[in-house]
Amino acid sequence: VSTLTLHFCFLQGTLLWKLSVPGHWGGLRPTMPSLLLLFTAALLSSWAQLLTDANSWWSLALNPVQRPEMFIIGAQPVCSQLPGLSPGQRKLCQLYQEHMAYIGEGAKTGIKECQHQFRQRRWNCSTADNASVFGRVMQIGSRETAFTHAVSAAGVVNAISRACREGELSTCGCSRTARPKDLPRDWLWGGCGDNVEYGYRFAKEFVDAREREKNFAKGSEEQGRVLMNLQNNEAGRRAVYKMADVACKCHGVSGSCSLKTCWLQLAEFRKVGDRLKEKYDSAA
């Protein structure tokens, strides 16, 4: 049963119940045209929500985002040209335009990893040439939907964290993670590490914005889907955060490695994908 059908059944049942209960309307008996108008408005609202949900920020992976400095002065702002953004994501885009290209890279990384992990499955994470990216399959509450949310959120953390380290973003730089307590005393802690802390925070703000904007009734199926998506987004972000580890470089004559400089480094994204796929396979 499609989401639209579920909306339709609920709305129809509500109207019929109100018509069958004497005095439910407080003494005012609505005319048939007014009921039809009410029903049409509710149905259009359901359609609008469905169409909004069909589009996704994942489409940034399919439409390369130009750097802000590449736009001619006076041209249409980049954020108004990007498909699939929710109102909150569009506002973040306006505040952090230089981040958008890396969000697109992160989404692309997540999609490629999804296609690799499911390459031998019937559903292989194939993309559609529109703003929905994965088509109608994402409207179903399934393990595949859960994995896709997780791996795409992980991709954004990965891309933003690396962009910070490489000096591509003005609002962040190298990681400021404290020196690990178990690091040998004679090893230096100070290399320019991947800023996974910033990547995690920004990805949470941007990716979750679409879900947090939705206002569904408490306990409804739609609210359950929102909570599920948020939980899976978090699972992806945490996988990147927890798998980041210490990397070191040796210094010394003829490779004696008498001194080491260490920093925080992201795990290879393939390992993140493998970890998330393990969770997918173990899910009921």
Question: Where along the chain do its domains lie?
Answer: 1-54, 55-68+77-282
Choice among 29-38, 54-63, 71-80, 271-280 with the minimum mean pLDDT: 29-38
| Residues 80-95 pLDDT 10s | 888 889 999 999 999 9
End-to-end CA distance of the chain: 22
| Residues 149-177 pLDDT 10s | 999 999 999 999 999 999 999 999 999 89
Tell me, what's the pLDDT at 44? 41
One-letter amino acid identity for 74?
G
Most confident of 81-90, 231-240, 253-262: 231-240
Choice among 107-111, 140-144, 244-248, 258-262 with the minimum mean pLDDT: 140-144
Average confidence score pLDDT of the chain: 79
CA–CA separation, 280 and 154 (whole Å): 15
| Residues 110-144 pLDDT 10s | 999 999 999 998 888 887 665 556 766 677 778 89
CA–CA separation, 139 and 76 (whole Å): 32
Coil/strand/helix, residue 152: helix
- Tell me the whole-structure pTM to 2 decimals: 0.76
Residues in CB range of 275: below 8 A, 6 or more apart = 239, 243
CA–CA separation, 247 and 187 (whole Å): 11
**pLDDT of residue 79 exceeding 60:** yes
